[in-house]
A and B are shown apart, each in its own frame.
Chain A
């Protein structure tokens, strides 16, 4: 009841301060940039992982053909079929080509694709690599085989790939800043003291802040997701997940603010935390660089989970496990924050 009262008051207050409008403005700017400034896919260049398993002189002639034929696309030579498949799993933009001698002694070109490429693109790839061969090799027979990798996922457009970054940023970081700003506003005005001499509990106070940030975060998350992902997001699980991520971010914000009595002093710590949390986006965008230390930053599973929810067939187990972890973390951090606030609120 007191929580509800405080929560409603905080909600009312939040619409009378400019922080909420910063959050909404950021969301709108993001939407505009994504929809109208950037193309759906940012790059058109793709890596092609290549393996040529042939004896000389066939090896050299195929290699020369490849090097001359592939202009825009970048060829990366690997030394095993497995390496190609792993590379493709990591780099969802790439394709692979495996050239080998079949049992009948024929030179066989096996294109290794992600599985979502259009037939047109497949044809284009075929032409690029082996178009010329037909003229050079009289006994050429089109025996190209196409292998789709098992367990491969559809590829998201770049626009959709960036969406999780915004959602994490919005919930985990903006939330952190804004809740700090609100708490310091209360400390500054001294209204926290006024609450301390009522039967309301400090937990009511902090939970109200958590609730207010949740409402704000969910509103802006939903706004951005609808605008960018439209029908391709799984909204139910996404909202559940975003709630967990939001609570986690706000809880960190509450804990941080408990150590300071004004925003300026808290700023440097907030920046450090945000910087660390933001580090995971590197591994998110460059899967080949994902050391354990980065994957352990909570925002990494957040990004991966949200991306998961943009696929047609999301791995819900992973998403819910991550959400559960975030909630547990949020609860723990909240308890710590509560303990800190009880001790330091009024000094």
Chain B
């Protein structure tokens, strides 16, 4: 469905490449995610694939069309949802969709049903200019579904949305995926990539570092993480923690996935004033520095619990690229 080979792109037409030497393929019915921090080149890649940016260097085939010579008719098969919502503020939500659907030569979905799908049915006849950011985003999102695309491009589909809406959108994408729509999505949210993608590509500084399925990645990297809970006295602990934290960022399992490498910590026997804390930390077994840190902890601290842990995509991303997903 999508084939990219040796793709380079420079906005400035020099050797400052926003994406360099990118190659990947997406099979029919597959969902593929580009995972990377902001500025990595995800949107640039999507924009080349959707013809918004001209293909200069490299070979790109999308839905059977050579992107060196894109044809207007190919867009009957494509759906594109944008990172920044872009709807006519002076038109109502319904008018926006009614106008857009007429631009396609293929059967389209009912706009009102689409609005209902994302909870915009109440404001269908309100001008989009009066919408909140999240509402505009939902409108942009459902607009990309109008022509029932067989290949669906989603640029940061849930970024900046409140969790309830994000999960609605996630469910819609999941359902389409199950019905066979090929999906290309970009995100810096590893939970989304984990949940929606058959395969993910890690992209950093315009370079694709690794492509694999989330499952394979976890099998490969997961068993090498050890989670340890141990007791630490206040005085000795602060120093030791800071020392280790400075050497290697350690990811907490915070719910939003934007873990900042803090150390889980809980005061034991609160009120006694002893300052003893329960520390929870992850150690990678592939990193010698962390292995040494783990050995030190094992030797000098009182261990409460200890087990191997499946790594999140984000942790793996950090291991592979040395970068965080922010």
Do A and B pair up? The answer is yes
Q: Which residues of A contact B (CB under 8 A)?
A: 1-2, 5-6, 9, 12-13, 16-17, 189-191, 193-201, 343, 346-347
Please name all residues of chain A whose beta carbon is closer than 8 Å to the beta carbon of B89 when the two chains form the complex. Answer: 189
- Report the minimum CB–CB distance from A26 to chain B (whole Å): 21
B40-59 to A contact mask, C-beta < 8 Å, 1/0: 00000001001111100000
Contact A189 B88 (CB under 8 A): yes
B78-118 to A contact mask, C-beta < 8 Å, 1/0: 10101011111111000100011011110000000000000
- Report the minimum CB–CB distance from A209 to chain B (whole Å): 14
Contact B90 A17 (CB under 8 A): yes
Tell whether A197 pairs with B50 under 8 Å between CB atoms, given A2-B102, A2-B103, A5-B99. Answer: yes
Q: How many A-B residue pairs have CB under 8 A?
A: 69
Q: Which of B25-33, B68-76, B166-174, B253-261 contacts A (4 or more CB under 8 A)?
A: B68-76
Contact B11 A199 (CB under 8 A): no
Tell whether A199 pairs with B53 under 8 Å between CB atoms, given A193-B82, A194-B82, A194-B86. Answer: no
Partner of A199, one of B76, B90, B95, B99: B76
Please name all residues of chain A whose beta carbon is closer than 8 Å to the beta carbon of B140 when the two chains form the complex. Answer: 194
In the bound complex, CA of A6 to CA of B52 (Å): 19
Contact B47 A346 (CB under 8 A): yes
Contact B52 A13 (CB under 8 A): no
Please name all residues of chain A whose beta carbon is closer than 8 Å to the beta carbon of B75 when the two chains form the complex. Answer: 197-199
Please name all residues of chain B whose beta carbon is closer than 8 Å to the beta carbon of A199 when the two chains form the complex. Answer: 72-73, 75-76, 103-105
Residue of A nearest to B74 (CB): A199
Please name all residues of chain B whose beta carbon is closer than 8 Å to the beta carbon of A195 when the two chains form the complex. Answer: 103
The reply to whether the CB of B280 lies closer than 8 angstroms to some CB of chain A is no
Please name all residues of chain B whose beta carbon is closer than 8 Å to the beta carbon of A9 when the two chains form the complex. Answer: 88, 91, 99
Please name all residues of chain A whose beta carbon is closer than 8 Å to the beta carbon of B52 when the two chains form the complex. Answer: 193, 196-197, 346
- Report the minimum CB–CB distance from B154 to chain A (whole Å): 12
With contacts A194-B82, A199-B76 known, what are 17 further pairs, Cβ within 8 A? A2-B102, A2-B103, A9-B91, A13-B90, A17-B90, A189-B86, A189-B89, A190-B86, A191-B86, A194-B80, A194-B143, A196-B52, A197-B75, A198-B147, A201-B72, A343-B54, A347-B53
In the bound complex, CA of A96 to CA of B102 (Å): 67
Please name all residues of chain B whose beta carbon is closer than 8 Å to the beta carbon of A194 when the two chains form the complex. Answer: 80, 82, 86-87, 100, 140, 143
- CB pairs A–B below 8 angstroms (26 shown): A2-B102, A5-B103, A6-B103, A9-B88, A12-B95, A189-B86, A190-B82, A190-B84, A191-B86, A191-B88, A193-B52, A194-B86, A195-B103, A196-B51, A197-B51, A197-B75, A197-B80, A198-B75, A198-B103, A199-B72, A199-B104, A200-B103, A201-B72, A346-B53, A347-B11, A347-B53
Residue of A6, A199, A200 with highest tally of chain B CB at under 10 A = A199
Partner of B87, one of A191, A343, A347: A191
In the bound complex, CA of A16 to CA of B75 (Å): 29
In the bound complex, CA of A199 to CA of B102 (Å): 10
- Report the minimum CB–CB distance from A255 to chain B (whole Å): 20
Please name all residues of chain A whose beta carbon is closer than 8 Å to the beta carbon of B53 when the two chains form the complex. Answer: 346-347
Please name all residues of chain B whose beta carbon is closer than 8 Å to the beta carbon of A2 when the two chains form the complex. Answer: 102-103
B236-269 to A contact mask, C-beta < 8 Å, 1/0: 0000000000000000000000000000000000
- Report the minimum CB–CB distance from A202 to chain B (whole Å): 9
Residue of B nearest to A345 (CB): B52
Please name all residues of chain B whose beta carbon is closer than 8 Å to the beta carbon of A197 when the two chains form the complex. Answer: 50-52, 75, 78, 80
Residue of A nearest to B73 (CB): A199
In the bound complex, CA of A158 to CA of B90 (Å): 42
Residue of A nearest to B77 (CB): A199
Residue of B54, B89, B103, B105 with highest tally of chain A CB at under 10 A = B103
Residue of A nearest to B105 (CB): A199
- Report the minimum CB–CB distance from A6 to chain B (whole Å): 8
Contact B104 A198 (CB under 8 A): yes
Residue of B nearest to A343 (CB): B54
Please name all residues of chain B whose beta carbon is closer than 8 Å to the beta carbon of A12 when the two chains form the complex. Answer: 91, 95
Please name all residues of chain A whose beta carbon is closer than 8 Å to the beta carbon of B86 when the two chains form the complex. Answer: 189-191, 193-194
- Report the minimum CB–CB distance from A29 to chain B (whole Å): 25
In the bound complex, CA of A196 to CA of B53 (Å): 10
- Report the minimum CB–CB distance from B35 to chain A (whole Å): 23
- Report the minimum CB–CB distance from B186 to chain A (whole Å): 15
In the bound complex, CA of A252 to CA of B78 (Å): 34
